[in-house]
Amino acid sequence: MEIEVRMFRFDDQGDMHPVDKARFDAACEHLEPFVEFKGQCVRLAGALLVRQPDQTLLLQNIYGQYVHFNQEGFVDEEKLAAATRHTDKDLGQDYHNEFMWFPTETEIEKIKAAVGEVL
């Protein structure tokens, strides 16, 4: 089973823009900056796709995360570590993770339409 993640950025007007995952991964690993996002907190959504044995892709999950970029355009390591610690915690009632956001129905439909073009 093969897993693929498609990433999207939502701007302040609610418009969705695809994000190159290879560039994002390079910014996470401090290999290449994502200069468009220097010094910003970006609202990213990920679509987790699973390739089935018959080669069809199945949309498994959609998630939202606030990702902080430093002044050079790399993903902020301290905030990424803090986000990971939050994710690993028990998500009990009234728990708030400041690094996560939940896409609205409209945003989910936009993501489904975007990944549906390639399914």
| Cβ atoms of residues 68 and 82 within 8 Å | no
In this prediction, residue 119 carries a pLDDT of 52
The radius of gyration of the chain from alpha carbons, rounded to an integer in Å, stands at: 15
In this prediction, residue 106 carries a pLDDT of 95
**Cβ neighbour number for residue 80 with a 10 Å cutoff:** 16
Q: What is the pTM of this model?
A: 0.82
What is the overall mean pLDDT for the chain? 87
| pLDDT-flagged residues of the chain (< 70) | 83-96, 117-119
Nearest of 65, 96, 94, 99 to residue 82 by alpha carbon: 99
The rounded percent of the chain whose pLDDT value lies above 70 is 85
In this prediction, residue 116 carries a pLDDT of 87
3-state secondary structure 58-79: EEEEEEEEEEEECCCCCECHHH
In this prediction, residue 11 carries a pLDDT of 95
